[in-house]
Amino acid sequence: MQLSRGISWRAAQKNWLLIGALILLIVFPFIVGALTNTSPTARRGLAVYWQGVMIELLIYGILTMSYNLLFGFTGVISFGHALFFGLAGYLLGGFQRAPELAESGLLIGIVVALSVCAVLGLLIGTATLRLKGVYFAIFTLAVAEMAYIFLSRYEPTGSEDGFTLGALPEWFDPTRSRLTFYYIVTAIFVLTFILIRRLMESPTGAVLLAIRENENRARTVGFNTLTYKLFAIVLAGILAGVAGILFTLLNKKVGPEMLGTAYTVNPLLMTIIGGAGTLTGPVIGAIGLRFLELQLRNVQIAVGDTVLEIGRTLPIILGALFILVVLVFPYGIVGTFVRWRQNRKARDAERLAKQAEALRSVS
Amino acid sequence: MSGLLSREKRGSLIAIGVILSILLLFSFFTTGDLSLVRTGGISAYLNTINPGDFSITLLSGLLRGMLLFLVAAGLSIVFGLMDVLNFAQGGFFMIGAYIAYELHHTPAIIAAVPDGNLRFLLGALVAIAIGAALGAALERGLLRPLYERPLFQLVITFGVSILILEATKLIWGVSPRSWTTVFGLNEGSFQLFGQQFSVYRLFVIIVGFALIIAVALLLQRTRIGIIIRAGVQDSQMVEALGINVRAVFTAVFTLGCAVAALGGAVAAPFLGASLGLSTEFLLGAVAAVVLGGLGSYEGTAIASLLVGITQAVVAKFGVQYLNQPVWESLSPMILLALVLLLRPSGLFGKE
């Protein structure tokens, strides 16, 4: 009785943080509007600019949560996550701008993009998840690179330049009604978080964790690990596709860079720095890193006579950070914090036990 | 190499023979103008078959195969020995190309070493040295602490490959470099069925063959070779016998990276230096390693040539019939995907 109340109290305490974050996300446009003294519903202005930044951060959050589902929770490494992200963008764009589909093109584009992501995940998974993990990494890298080279030279989709979307309905247009788009992205972000959280609390999530820890053991216990891994890759593919669709809508253009290594490396980096295999880590990593990147993009530091452009050296700094984190900080920000708290609790319990022991021996 | 001719490998050799003959026949008969067949003039079509084109395609394929082998050799032996697939191997090839290019085109160095051949040799040596130094640092500093966490080893080599790419981008920019200086070695050419082929490229093919045999001899006949082969079988057992396996790991990894950098340096006079080399040669070499069977040296050597020839044949066909040069860049990835789908254990691999 005592125990169960303790757990639910702790759960509530944890949820308070999340609920607080959710409220912050909801009132964010108005806070920024009040701080910068601009209207959050206007077409331009600082408040709208910051909404745009936040939308991008949340999209990165969705992409990184999707990566974490594979890498952090299931222990499967994909070096081609950008494939789902970019392909969904291209498919959505292709259907959306087709003149013969008119308004329905957007909806058809979303449905087709997500279905293709799911089927692609299923195909890639069936082909290589039976084999050692390294084959899956190679295969995804090869397929993503193939799609990247192909699309950057394929003229009907604008080769290197990509193409811009057609006109969007007014209520859905990120430039004309950005606040609405902000809430749409926020809702999808929150739903993704809840979905992954519910999944990881479910028996299926437990099997995914078991596969990560020791796949042979999970198989010996009687689980068809291939099915579970397929489920993870299909879901991760769909979520990355969702991120790609939102990203395309936000920028109103697609280009081959969406399939480039950047959109594989960034989620990987953000997952590891935030904390692979934790729920909030990837979100913190994605939002924090992308925010820093946006802020540091135009910063210049003068060291003596030489001017150091942070924007140009940023990829190298991030790469070095990545290696450093893997070597000395492998649990990431959230993972390290959780471990530290657990250790502290264990130490506290030990101290209490010692005190109780001392009291008993006195009496 | 008696191992290659053993009974159990006969099946693999037959498979290779069949694939190679199909490739070569395909290449030979598509040098002609196939549209003539439809219009009824079989003999007119046969007259357009061009043995010169065919032999040039074959030589280009061998050349490409040799370059792939220089990247794949380290990749394969390191994988067999340490269970690490070094995703940064393509990056070493790219660095080698940039170093050779830079040393041959910087005015200050041209003034110091006016002889083109000597400067090229210097470039190759510097590329080897830098490749070896970076490789040793990578193994010692980054991979060694992670042997308990293989998932992160994979992640870190991938991270290093991105780091190498970004550093190169920062130093040399994004625009590709094409080789413009002349030097004696690179100048001569010879005629083959009326087609020109550079002597330098033939020289690269011959050096490649020499290297394949040299490494084979190293593996078969020397003490370190025995240790490496034993390590591929069971590295823990080798360690239990009192051999410092970790030192062997470092040596092999360093050598593999140095050879990949040498490959880039040797390729620079005709491929130039560009950022795309990294992924292109990584994936081509990985295709060769997987096709040959992970960890099998002879498999890697044969598969490298096979992948190279396939790429040349596809490139020729793509330009002649599809009017699309993109297929040359795509072919290693398509081949890799096909191998993984059809026979992931490779030609010489164990099931």
DSSP output for A46-57: HHHHHHHHHHHH
Which residues sit opposite A302 in a β-bridge?
A: A307
CA distance B220 to B299: 15
CA distance B285 to A116: 30
Which pLDDT score is estimated for B351? 46
pLDDT over 70 percentage in chain A? 95
| Selection from A88, A84, A252 nearest residue A163 by Cα | A252
Which pLDDT score is estimated for A14? 66
pLDDT tens across A159-184, in order?
A: 788 888 888 877 778 877 888 899 99
CA distance A226 to A223: 9
Task: Determine the residue among A149, A269, A270, A317 to mutate to test chain B binding: the one whose Cβ has the most chain B Cβ atoms within 10 Å.
Answer: A149
B32 vs B14 pLDDT, higher one: B14
Eight-state DSSP code of residue A71 = I
Task: Provide the token pair at A47.
Answer: 């408040």
Which pLDDT score is estimated for A2? 44
Q: Does residue A30 contact residue A217 with C-beta atoms inside 8 Å?
A: no
Q: Does residue A262 contact residue A81 with C-beta atoms inside 8 Å?
A: no
Q: Does residue B292 contact residue B303 with C-beta atoms inside 8 Å?
A: yes
Q: Does residue B139 contact residue B249 with C-beta atoms inside 8 Å?
A: yes
Judged by CB atoms closer than 8 Å, whether chains meet at A142 and B155 is answered as no
pLDDT tens across A89-99, in order?
A: 999 998 888 87
* Cβ of residue A312 closer than 8 Å to a chain B Cβ: yes
* Cβ of residue A268 closer than 8 Å to a chain B Cβ: yes
Alpha-carbon distance B163 to nearest alpha carbon in chain A (angstroms): 5
Residue B144 parent element (H or E): none
Judged by CB atoms closer than 8 Å, whether chains meet at B146 and A145 is answered as no
- The Cα-based distances of B189 to B38, B165, B186, B201, B317 in angstroms read 37, 34, 9, 9, 24
Q: Which residues contact A121 (CB under 8 A, 6 or more apart)?
A: A84, A230, A233, A234, A236, A237, A238
Q: Which residues of B touch A269 (CB under 8 A)?
A: 159
Alpha-carbon distance A346 to nearest alpha carbon in chain B (angstroms): 26
pLDDT tens across B125-164, in order?
A: 999 999 999 999 998 888 888 877 778 888 899 889 989 9
| B170, B329, B341: residue with CB nearest A316 | B170
Q: Does residue B176 contact residue B276 with C-beta atoms inside 8 Å?
A: yes
Which pLDDT score is estimated for B35? 67
Q: Which residues of A touch B330 (CB under 8 A)?
A: 146, 149-150
Question: Does residue A281 carry a pLDDT above 60?
Answer: yes
Q: Does residue A242 contact residue A192 with C-beta atoms inside 8 Å?
A: yes
- The Cα-based distances of B345 to A60, A139, A266, B299 in angstroms read 37, 14, 32, 11
* Cβ of residue A123 closer than 8 Å to a chain B Cβ: no
* Cβ of residue A143 closer than 8 Å to a chain B Cβ: yes
Mean of pLDDT over chain A: 86
pLDDT tens across A18-32, in order?
A: 888 888 888 888 888
Question: Does residue A242 carry a pLDDT above 90?
Answer: yes
CA distance B278 to A87: 23
Q: How does residue B262 score in pLDDT terms, banded at 50, 70 and 90?
A: very high
Which pLDDT score is estimated for A362? 75
Q: How does residue A293 score in pLDDT terms, banded at 50, 70 and 90?
A: confident
pLDDT over 90 percentage in chain A? 33
Which pLDDT score is estimated for A231? 94
pLDDT tens across A39-71, in order?
A: 777 777 788 888 889 999 999 999 999 999 999
Of the listed ranges A99-108, A203-212, B250-259, the one predicted with least confidence: A99-108
CATH number of A36-296: 1.10.3470
Which pLDDT score is estimated for B40? 67
Q: Which residues contact A161 (CB under 8 A, 6 or more apart)?
A: A255
pLDDT over 70 percentage in chain B? 87
Q: Which residues of A touch B170 (CB under 8 A)?
A: 312-313, 316
Judged by CB atoms closer than 8 Å, whether chains meet at A127 and B340 is answered as yes
Q: Is B173 left (phi over 0), alpha (psi -120 to 50) or beta?
A: left
Q: How does residue B258 score in pLDDT terms, banded at 50, 70 and 90?
A: very high
* Cβ of residue A139 closer than 8 Å to a chain B Cβ: yes
Q: Which residues of B touch A81 (CB under 8 A)?
A: none
Q: How does residue B23 score in pLDDT terms, banded at 50, 70 and 90?
A: confident
CA distance A277 to A268: 12
Q: Does residue B349 contact residue B296 with C-beta atoms inside 8 Å?
A: yes
Q: How does residue A3 score in pLDDT terms, banded at 50, 70 and 90?
A: very low
Nearest-by-CA chain A residue for B325: A153
Which pLDDT score is estimated for B180? 78
A249 vs B194 pLDDT, higher one: A249
Eight-state DSSP code of residue A258 = G
Per DSSP, chain A holds a count of helices (H) and strands (E) of 13, 4
Alpha-carbon distance A57 to nearest alpha carbon in chain B (angstroms): 22
Task: Provide the token pair at B258.
Answer: 């140095």
Nearest-by-CA chain A residue for B335: A142
CA distance B45 to B29: 9
Which pLDDT score is estimated for B119? 85
pLDDT tens across B288-299, in order?
A: 888 888 778 888
Which pLDDT score is estimated for A135? 85
Q: Which residues of A touch B160 (CB under 8 A)?
A: 323
Domains of chain A, by residue range, sit at: 36-296
Which residues sit opposite B198 in a β-bridge?
A: B189
Mean pLDDT score, A203-227: 91
Question: Does residue B189 carry a pLDDT above 90?
Answer: no
Judged by CB atoms closer than 8 Å, whether chains meet at A326 and B156 is answered as yes
pLDDT tens across A76-128, in order?
A: 989 989 999 999 999 999 888 887 777 788 889 999 999 999 999 999 888 88
Task: Provide the token pair at B192.
Answer: 């083959």
Q: Does residue B335 contact residue B291 with C-beta atoms inside 8 Å?
A: yes
Of the listed ranges A77-81, A153-157, A246-250, B71-75, the one predicted with least confidence: A153-157
Which pLDDT score is estimated for B323? 64
Q: Does residue B303 contact residue B346 with C-beta atoms inside 8 Å?
A: yes
Judged by CB atoms closer than 8 Å, whether chains meet at A265 and B333 is answered as no
Per DSSP, chain B holds a count of helices (H) and strands (E) of 14, 2
Judged by CB atoms closer than 8 Å, whether chains meet at A265 and B162 is answered as yes
Q: Is A75 left (phi over 0), alpha (psi -120 to 50) or beta?
A: left
Which pLDDT score is estimated for A197? 92
Q: Does residue B32 contact residue B48 with C-beta atoms inside 8 Å?
A: yes
Number of Cβ pairs < 8 A linking chain A and chain B: 96
Is B2-342 CATH 1.10.3470? yes
* Cβ of residue A150 closer than 8 Å to a chain B Cβ: yes
pLDDT tens across B195-253, in order?
A: 777 788 888 898 889 988 988 888 888 888 888 888 887 888 888 888 888 888 888 89
3-state helix, strand, coil split of chain B in percent (to 5) is 80, 5, 20
CA distance B135 to B260: 10
Task: Provide the token pair at B328.
Answer: 């040359």
Question: Does residue B1 carry a pLDDT above 50?
Answer: no
Question: Does residue B345 carry a pLDDT above 70?
Answer: yes
Q: Which residues of B touch A (CB under 8 A)?
A: 85, 87, 142, 145-146, 149, 151-152, 154-156, 158-160, 162-163, 166-167, 169-170, 279, 283, 286-287, 290, 326, 329-330, 333-334, 336-337, 340-341, 344
Which pLDDT score is estimated for A245? 94
Nearest-by-CA chain A residue for B138: A323
Task: Provide the token pair at A209.
Answer: 């964790």
CA distance A67 to A267: 6
Which residues sit opposite B350 in a β-bridge?
A: none
Rounded to 5 degrees, what angle do the CA atoms A197, A200, A204 make?
A: 140
CA distance A316 to A24: 33
| A139, A261, A323: residue with CB nearest B337 | A139
- Coil, helix or strand for A329? coil
Question: Does residue A216 carry a pLDDT above 50?
Answer: yes
